[in-house]
Amino acid sequence: MNAVNAVLNLPAQFGVYNPVRLVNPGMLTVLNYHRIEDPHAPGFHTLKINVSATPEEFALQMDYLKEYYHVIGCDTLVSFLRGEATLPSRAALITFDDGYYDNYSNAYPILAERELPAIIFLTTGYIGESKAFYWDYVSYCFYYTAKKSAHLPLIGDCSWDDEPSREQVLHRWIEAAKLVPDTQKKEYVNQISAILEVEVPEQAYEGLYLNWDQVRAMSRSGLIEFGAHTVTHPILTRVPIEQASFEICESKRRIEEETGKVVTALAYPNGGQADFSQPVMQAARDAGIEVAFSLLPGPTRYSTVRKNAFSVRRIFLSYYDTFPRFVAKLSGLARLLILFCLIDCLTHFGAVQNHCVWW
C-alpha cells in the first residue's frame, strides 16, 4: 500500500468519513465511471486508466452506496431542477461515460441485482462500431511495440524499460494530444503506429463498445438512462461552436431515435474546467439539454446544483481507488488531501491522467 492509501485508510478505519457524510445530507454525490473490467487481464491492450473498477470492486462500491446513500436516477435530478421534486437526503447519482460494452456485460447485472439506477453517456459515433478511440488505438501500439525508445510527435525523444515507464510515456503523449485539433491529432495517431512499428488489426476493437440492441435492452429495463456525450468525443471548447452544437444535438437525436426516450442530460468530453464554456453551455441549453456534467470534483450542495445545472460536478473513479480511497472521495473530506493525491497521481502516471481529471 502506498503512502496516500495509508493516509486515507486511517480515517476510514476509524469511521471518520461517515459522520462527515451524515452531517451533510443536502449534498449531491455524482460518481463517474468509464469501464468495469480487470485492467490486468492478459492481453488487455486498451487504456488502463479508463478502467474505473473491477467487477468485484464495483459490486462492493454499489453495496456501500445502497447502504449509506439514496441512489437516484438522472430523471429525478431533472425533476428537481424543474422544481417538480425534492431530492432525498444524501442523494447519489451513478454515471458512466463513453459507452463501453462492459457497462452492459459487467456493470449492468450488478446494478440490476441491487436495483440501482444509473445513466450512461454515449459517444454515439462509436456505438455498434469497431473503430477505436484514439487513446485506445495508441495504447495498443504501446502495448505491442518491441521498441524501448522512440522520437514521437508532440513529445519528442522518450524511452521506457518496463511497463510503468511505458505507461507514463503513453499518458504523457495522450495529454499532449488533447491540446491539438482533431484533424492534426489523427495524423499524429497514425504516425505513432508507424514509429512504434505496430500494425493495428481491424478486429482489435470488435465488441469493445455497446451496440444499439444492448442500449435498447438496458433502456427498456427502466433502470438505465442514456445521455449525450457527443458523436466523436471532441473537446467542445476546441472546435468551432457550430460543430460543438452539432455534436451535442446529433448525439441527443440519435439516442432518442434508438431508444424512443427524450434525452435531457449531457456529459462534456474530458470535463475539465477548460473543456466547457458559456457558449458550449448555451448550445447545450438550446439543444434541449436540462443538466450537464463536468469532471470537476464533487460532491455539491443541492442549492449549488440548482444554480449550476450546466456544470454539475462528478467524482472521477479509477481502478487504483482502493475501497478506503473510494469512501474518502465520496465523503468530500478527502479533497482536503488533494496535495497527497496529486503526488500520488504523479507517482502513478507521471502526469495527470489522460481522459478526465482525477479528483
Query: CB-wise, 274 or 343, nearer to Zn ion?
Result: 274
Query: Among candidates 13, 26, 72, 2, which has minimal Cα distance to 328?
Result: 13
Element containing residue 91 per DSSP (H, E): strand 91-98
Question: How many whole angstroms separate alpha carbon 85 and alpha carbon 314?
Answer: 21
The Cβ-side half-sphere exposure at 82, using a 13 Å CA radius, reads: 11
Return the C-alpha cell found at 253: 437525436
Least gap, CB of 100 to Zn ion (angstroms)? 10
Distances (CA, A) of 317 to 37, 73, 89, 320, 328: 13, 19, 22, 8, 11
- State the residue number with the nearest CB to Zn ion: 97
Q: Which is nearer to Zn ion, 311 or 331 (CB)?
A: 311
CB-wise, 11 or 269, nearer to Zn ion?
Answer: 269
* Total number of residues that touch Zn ion (CB under 5 A): 3
Min CB(259)–Zn ion separation in Å: 19
Tell me whether residue 231 or residue 327 sits nearer to Zn ion (CB atom): 231
Distance CA 238, CA 145 (A): 31
- Nearest distance, CB of residue 271 and Zn ion, angstroms: 8
State the amino acid at position 266 in one-letter form: L
Report in angstroms how near the CB of residue 295 gets to Zn ion at its nearest. 9
Least distance to Zn ion, CB of residue 132, Å? 14
Judged on CB neighbours under 10 Å (0-12, 13-18, 19+), 146 is: exposed
Min. distance of Cβ 233 from Zn ion in angstroms?
A: 6
Residues 70-99 touching Zn ion, rule: CB under 5 A, are 97-98
Q: Which of residues 42-71 bind Zn ion (CB under 5 A)?
A: none
Q: Residue 356 Cβ, how far from Zn ion at the closest point, in Å? A: 7
Q: Which of residues 263-302 bind Zn ion (CB under 5 A)?
A: 269
State which amino acid sits at residue 201: P
Q: Within positions 98 to 117, which residues make up the interface with Zn ion, using CB under 5 A? A: 98
Least Cα distance to 118 among 218, 209, 51, 216 occurs for 218
Would you say 33 or 160 has its CB closer to Zn ion? 33
Residue 310 vs 316, nearer CB to Zn ion: 316
CB of 243 to Zn ion, least distance (A): 17
At 89, give phi and psi (nearest 5°): -65, 150
Q: Could you tell me which residues are beta bridge partners of residue 31?
A: 94, 315
- Which pairs with CB-CB distance under 8 Å and at least 24 residues apart come from 246-255? 248/283, 248/284, 248/287, 248/289, 249/287, 250/124, 251/122, 251/123, 251/124, 252/228, 252/287, 252/288, 252/289, 254/124, 255/122, 255/124, 255/215, 255/226, 255/227, 255/228
Output 94 or 152, the one with its CB closest to Zn ion. Answer: 94
Nearer to Zn ion, 35 or 325 (CB): 35
Q: Does 175 bind Zn ion (CB under 5 A)?
A: no
CB 266, CB 292: distance < 8 Å: yes
Cβ pair 98, 51 in contact under 8 A: no
Min separation Cβ 51 and Zn ion, Å: 14
- Chain-centroid distance of CA 151 in Å reads 30
CB of 44 to Zn ion, least distance (A): 19
> What residues numbered 232-251 form the site for Zn ion, per CB under 5 A?
none
Of residues 234 and 332, the one with the C-beta less far from Zn ion: 234
Residue among 97 and 102 whose Cβ is closer to Zn ion? 97
Residues making contact with Zn ion (CB under 5 A): 97-98, 269
